[in-house]
C-alpha cells in the first residue's frame, strides 16, 4: 500500500516553530476561526468602528507566522467556519446574527460567505497580503460546500480580492453527502479536497457530532461513512485531484487510518502531538520506514 503524506493541523501561531521542526509535509489545516476569536468582536461591528484593518491583521499576522515557519512547505488556511451561535457570542454579534434552531446546518461555510461577503473579503485580504509578502506557500481551503454552484460563486469572490492569476491554490472541504455524490464535478473546480470526517459522519448517519452518547455507537468507520469517503476519493482521483483528511479522527483511530490507506488517501493531517504515533502506524501499515 502507498504511504500517504503526513501533515499537521495547527491553529495556534505561537506553536508554529515547534511544529515546523517535525518532518511534516506542511500544514493540512489552519483554522481561521481560532484567529477570529482573538478579535473578540463580530467582524461587522469592527467594520462599523473603522477597525477592519485590525481584524485583517489578526488573520494576516497569524497566517504569516505559521507560513514563515513552514516555508516552503504548504500551509492550508481554512476560511472561518464559525456558526451563528458562535458569532453571536462575539461582542456585537447579536446585532448581525439570526438565532437559528440548528446552527450546525444553518448559515455557515460557503453560504455564509455569499450571504455576508464583507467578513469573508477581510479574510481574503489577509491571504492576499500574506502572499504578497512572499509567502507563496499559503493556500486556501473553503469549508462546508453544499453545492458546486456555491463553490463557483465563492471562488469568484476569492479571485476578486486575491487576483485570478495569483497562483493561489484553492482547496475545498468534502464533508457533506452531496460532495460524495458530486465528487468528480467538485474536484474539477479546485486544486484539492480535504475530507472533514466529523461533519460527514454526522450527516451520513444523522448523528449529533457533539453527543458523546451517540458518538460511542455511530463512528466514522461505519460502512455507510466509509462508502462516502470512497466515493470522494475515487471521484476526485478520476478528476486528477488529490484528497486528504484533516479531521481529528485519524489521530486516535488506527482502523480509520488503515481504511484511508487502503482507499488511497493522498494525505493525512493530525495535531502535532499525534504526529509521531500516526507516522508509526503508517509505517507499519505500508511497510515503509518512518519519516
> Taking residues 201-220, what's their average pLDDT?
91
* pLDDT of 250 over the 60 cut: yes
β 138-142/75-78 pair status: parallel
Q: What is the pLDDT of residue 247?
A: 82
Give the 3-state secondary structure of residue 289.
Answer: coil
| Ordered alpha helix ranges (H), 23-73 | 32-39, 43-48, 52-70
Confidence of residue 194 (pLDDT cuts 50, 70, 90): very high
**Cα angle at 158 between 6 and 200, to 5 degrees?**
45
pLDDT tens per residue across span 122-176: 999 999 999 999 999 999 999 999 999 999 999 999 999 999 989 999 999 999 9
User: pLDDT per residue over 76-117, tens digit each?
Assistant: 999 999 999 999 999 999 999 999 999 999 999 999 999 989
Give the model's confidence band at 289: pLDDT under 50 very low, under 70 low, under 90 confident, else very high. low
Pick the CATH number of 5-286 from 3.10.25.10, 3.40.50.410, 3.50.50.100, 3.20.20.60: 3.20.20.60
State pLDDT tens for residues 68-87. Answer: 999 999 999 999 999 999 99
For residue 63, give every residue at least 6 positions away whose Cβ sits within 8 Å of its Cβ, in sequence order, or none.
13, 30, 35, 75, 77, 126, 127, 130, 135, 138
Instruction: Look at residue 281 in the predicted model and tell me its pLDDT.
Output: 96
For range 242-247, the mean pLDDT: 94
pLDDT above 90 covers a percentage of the chain that reads: 82
Residue 100: half-sphere exposure toward Cβ, Cα within 13 Å? 16
Flag whether the pTM goes above 0.85.
Answer: yes
48-62, 188-202, 220-234: which has the minimum mean pLDDT? Answer: 48-62
**In this predicted structure, what is the pLDDT of residue 290?**
46
What residue ranges do the domains of the chain occupy? 5-286
Task: Categorize the per-residue pLDDT at 44 as very low, low, confident or very high, splitting at 50, 70 and 90.
Answer: confident
Specify the pLDDT at position 14: 94
Residue 291 has pLDDT above 50, yes or no: no
Amino acid at each position: 500500500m502507498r504511504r500517504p503524506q503526513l501533515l499537521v493541523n495547527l491553529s495556534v501561531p505561537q506553536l508554529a516553530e515547534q511544529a515546523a521542526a517535525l518532518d511534516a509535509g506542511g500544514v493540512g489545516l489552519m483554522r481561521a476561526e481560532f484567529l477570529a476569536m482573538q478579535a473578540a468582536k463580530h467582524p461587522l461591528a469592527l467594520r462599523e468602528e473603522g477597525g477592519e484593518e485590525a481584524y485583517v491583521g489578526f488573520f494576516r499576522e497569524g497566517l504569516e507566522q505559521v507560513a514563515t515557519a513552514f516555508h516552503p512547505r504548504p500551509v492550508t488556511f481554512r476560511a472561518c467556519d464559525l456558526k451563528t451561535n458562535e458569532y453571536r457570542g462575539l461582542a456585537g454579534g447579536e446585532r448581525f446574527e439570526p438565532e437559528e434552531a440548528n446552527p450546525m446546518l444553518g448559515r455557515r461555510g460557503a453560504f455564509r460567505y455569499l450571504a455576508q461577503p464583507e467578513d469573508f473579503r477581510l479574510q481574503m485580504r489577509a491571504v492576499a497580503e500574506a502572499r504578497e509578502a512572499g509567502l507563496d506557500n499559503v493556500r486556501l481551503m473553503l469549508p462546508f460546500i453544499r453545492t458546486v454552484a456555491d463553490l463557483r460563486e465563492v471562488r469568484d469572490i476569492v479571485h476578486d480580492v486575491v487576483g485570478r492569476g495569483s497562483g493561489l491554490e484553492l482547496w475545498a472541504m468534502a464533508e457533506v453527502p452531496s460532495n460524495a455524490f458530486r465528487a468528480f464535478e467538485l474536484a474539477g473546480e479546485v486544486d484539492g479536497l480535504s475530507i472533514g470526517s466529523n461533519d460527514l459522519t454526522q450527516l451520513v448517519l444523522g448523528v449529533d457530532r457533539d453527543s458523546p452518547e451517540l458518538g460511542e455507537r455511530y463512528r466514522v468507520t461505519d460502512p455507510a461513512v466509509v462508502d462516502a469517503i470512497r466515493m470522494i476519493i475515487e471521484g476526485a482521483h478520476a478528476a486528477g485531484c488529490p484528497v486528504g483528511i484533516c479531521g481529528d479522527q485519524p489521530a486516535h483511530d488506527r482502523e480509520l487510518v488503515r481504511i484511508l490507506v487502503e482507499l488511497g488517501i493522498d494525505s493525512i493531517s493530525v495535531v502535532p502531538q499525534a504526529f509521531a504515533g500516526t507516522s508509526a502506524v503508517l509505517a507499519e501499515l505500508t511497510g515503509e520506514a518512518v519519516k
